[in-house]
Amino acid sequence: MKKVLMLLLILVLPITVFAAPTKVVDYIQGIANTAGGDDSTNNVIGDTDLAYDGTVDKNLRYVGKNPNNYVIFNNELWRIIGVMNNIEDANGVKASRVKIFRNETIGEYSYDSSAADIGGGRGSNEWSRSYANRILNTYYYLSQKGICAIDKNLEETECDFTETGLSAVARSQIETVKWNDAALLARTSGYSVKETYPLERNSSTTDTREDPIIKTREATWIANIGLINPTDFAFSTSGTDNTVRNSCLNTAFVGCALCSNNWAKKYECGSNTWFPRHTMWSLNGSNSIYYSSGAVTLNFYYSSHYVYGKTNYHPVVYLKDDVMIYGGTGTAEDPYILEVYDVTVEDVKAEDVNITPSDKDLPEGTIVTITSLNSKKKIKSITILDENNQIVDYTKVDDTHYQFKMPNSNVKVQFKYENDISENPKTLFNLIIIVICFSLCIVISVITQVTLRKRKGLLS
């Protein structure tokens, strides 16, 4: 129901449509380049909502309290984290890829759990064999029901993603990639945001913890869906200006939650991010405590949470390189549009109808005008149906013009004309009877004529 209400809201909002579609990667990079972006700094670029992160990969990220990074994906509002460079796909090909984040949580569940006689039932933060991986890459990805953990000792509940899971269209837009899920180290002074980024990508599989469930952890994992890395949250801060932003990125973030007494500053850093104002699971666990995984909080630090505890799941995916932006400005009211649809008019000659702006590649929310060009036939009504044969509302402008707002689906249009005998089965039946009777009369007449001629021939 929540998803339906969100879609209804989107359908009544104005949609900006581009003159020509653009690849998502190119579009975002184009904003930065036009504004004179410099990837050697962490500064917010001009009057945009973008900033480079100053890491070795020079990723381009959306920053601030409410940047224009909203996008419709899976018929829902998601948000663009940014353009991540050197992201490796399942075939080992590295490229710049757009990373997006589901705006609403799909629920609160444990990251993992285990039987009481294994590690005290507390589970493990090793991603590859966790409940978290199964929840996201099986149940949610395939829109299925499943079993999710909600506490230690394998306490579970049924979780249902048949309505909130990914559609076939959404799955077709996702790139399968190598996710960085290395365990994060701790030290007395902690690690700043900039120092944490390479720790998330530590390729070593050596595990220094005494994990009774798994001895060798995977530092990377090939999958369709993941969670945020802790620095995705941290790099999204704008501070209150560029000086504060740079200070935020150099403050202790991981491994030492209590080593900074300047909580006012840390709150200032955390409150100037666009991520939800609640705790959520991240991909990277703790290297020091096997049953502790990372959750990020508004107080701008990586907080270790026992994996059997419940907190919010926000799926994260990378888009394929060929996914296009067709419209939108990135605001919540006018989000970016990544899918387009077609209009098909049934049983009408092409020259008898005109569809504007087009009958193909129309973003959701586009106002479509149908014009009848056949002056010899008067339209009685039209029916517009989506792919599920649900009626799409339209407005009759006049006797030849009709308008509707494009749904998130291909549509078909059916015309009904006045005096159309196909509408009245009785009229059609009567016509058939008349035709049959007329045909029989002709046959009888012919037979009669032939018979008379034969008789005349005999008499002569």
- CB-based contacts of 312: which residues, under 8 Å, 6+ apart? 105, 107, 108, 276, 278, 279, 280, 281
- Residue 104: pLDDT above 80? yes
Q: Following CA atoms 154, 156, 162, 167 in sequence, which dihedral angle do they give, to the nearest 10 degrees? A: -30
- Strand pairing of 336-337 and 70-73? parallel
Q: Which residues pair with 191 in a beta bridge?
A: 254
Higher pLDDT, 417 or 276: 276
Q: Which of 199-208, 264-273, 284-293, 423-432 has the lowest mean pLDDT?
A: 423-432
Structure tokens at 307: 């994996």
**With bands split at pLDDT 50, 70 and 90, how would you rate the model's confidence at 112?**
very high
**Predicted local confidence at residue 337, as pLDDT:** 92
- Strand pairing of 50-52 and 60-62? antiparallel
Structure tokens at 346: 């049934």
Instruction: Give the E-state strand segments of 26-93 in sequence order.
Output: 50-52, 60-62, 70-73, 76-88
What's the rounded mean pLDDT across residues 77-85? 98
**With bands split at pLDDT 50, 70 and 90, how would you rate the model's confidence at 416?**
confident
| Summary mean pLDDT of the chain | 85
**Predicted local confidence at residue 262, as pLDDT:** 63
**Predicted local confidence at residue 379, as pLDDT:** 83
Question: 229 vs 92, 120, 286, 359, 405, CA distance in Å?
Answer: 20, 27, 13, 41, 38
**Predicted local confidence at residue 429, as pLDDT:** 63
What's the rounded mean pLDDT across residues 57-85? 97
Between the ranges 13-22, 133-142, 196-205, where is the mean pLDDT highest? 133-142
Order across the sheet with 379-386: list the strands: 343-346, 411-417, 379-386
**Predicted local confidence at residue 9, as pLDDT:** 43
- Residue 266: pLDDT above 60? yes
**Predicted local confidence at residue 421, as pLDDT:** 46
**Predicted local confidence at residue 205, as pLDDT:** 47
- Strand pairing of 155-160 and 145-151? antiparallel
- Residue 173: pLDDT above 90? yes
CATH architecture of the domain 339-421 equals Sandwich (2.60)
**Predicted local confidence at residue 259, as pLDDT:** 57
Tell me if 359 sits within 8 A of 209, measured CB to CB.
no
- Residue 426: pLDDT above 90? no
- Strand pairing of 343-346 and 280-285? unpaired
**Which strand (E) or helix (H) includes residue 425?**
helix 425-459
Structure tokens at 138: 């099986």
* Domain ranges within the chain, ordered by starting residue: 2-327, 339-421, 427-459
**With bands split at pLDDT 50, 70 and 90, how would you rate the model's confidence at 297?**
low
- CB-based contacts of 97: which residues, under 8 Å, 6+ apart? 25, 83, 84, 87, 175, 177, 318, 319, 321
**Predicted local confidence at residue 443, as pLDDT:** 72
Q: Calculate the CA 55 to chain-centre distance.
A: 27
Q: Which of 375-384, 392-401, 420-429, 447-456 has the lowest mean pLDDT?
A: 420-429
Instruction: Give the E-state strand segments of 302-455 in sequence order.
Output: 302-306, 310-312, 316-319, 324-327, 336-337, 340-341, 343-346, 353-356, 362-363, 367-372, 379-386, 395-396, 401-405, 411-417
Tell me if 321 sits within 8 A of 95, measured CB to CB.
yes
Higher pLDDT, 264 or 24: 24
**With bands split at pLDDT 50, 70 and 90, how would you rate the model's confidence at 135?**
very high
**Predicted local confidence at residue 209, as pLDDT:** 52
- Residue 123: pLDDT above 80? yes
